[in-house]
Amino acid sequence: MSQNHYQVLGVPATAGTLDIKLAYKRLAVQLHPDKHGGNPIYEERFKA
């Protein structure tokens, strides 16, 4: 089953613009390849 963008970001469908932006930035920092020493799993998740 595929996820929608709200599920990927971990926010409800009723989330406002600011909540979505903050969730995106938080996830981008969390999954950024530079934070994980080139781990291919995190690199693929970041590209998705």
Q: Where are the domains of the chain?
A: 5-47
Please state whether 7 falls in left (phi above 0), alpha (psi between -120 and 50) or beta.
alpha
pTM given for the model? 0.66
Q: What angle do CA 43, 47, 48 make, to 5 degrees?
A: 120
d(CA 44, CA 24): 16
Closest CA to 6 of 15, 28, 47: 15
- Residue 1 is predicted with a pLDDT of 54
Q: What is the pLDDT along the chain (48 residues), one digit of tens a residue?
A: 588 999 989 999 999 999 999 999 998 888 776 776 667 776 677 676
